[in-house]
Amino acid sequence: MEYIFMVARWSHIIGGFLALCVFWIPIVTRKGRKLHRRSGWIYVVAMSIVSVSALYMGIYRLAWDSSFDADDVPFSWFLIFIAILSGGAVWYGLHVLIKRAE
């Protein structure tokens, strides 16, 4: 379980860094162009990785982490909530694009 947690943590870090770097490309490029679309998809994938890994790590900390302190429980629930919110924002953006394409 510890190995999976480490993989989730590193994928969370790499995905977050990638999302932070790629975030600005769709903002400054013209809408609908190839660079805008590709960088937008990279951002969606990176944020999906961040959301899923954050959700896993939060649940792991609540359920299986033996070094977890009782004072950290509310903070873990808060981080799980943030992971769900960011995943929901990505899902909503994809849903808008899918509906627009129909």
Count of domains for the chain: 1
Please tell me the predicted confidence (pLDDT) of residue 102.
67
- The reported pTM is 0.85
Q: Structural domain of residue 31, as residue ranges? A: 2-101
Burial class of residue 83, CB neighbours in 10 A (0-12, 13-18, 19+):
buried
Q: What is the pLDDT of residues 7-16, one digit of tens each?
A: 999 999 999 9
CB of 12 closer than 8 Å to CB of 46: no
pLDDT, tens digit, 9 for 90 and up, residues 52-100: 999 999 898 888 876 767 777 888 899 899 999 999 999 998 888 888 7
Per-residue confidence (pLDDT) for residue 96, from 0 to 100: 84
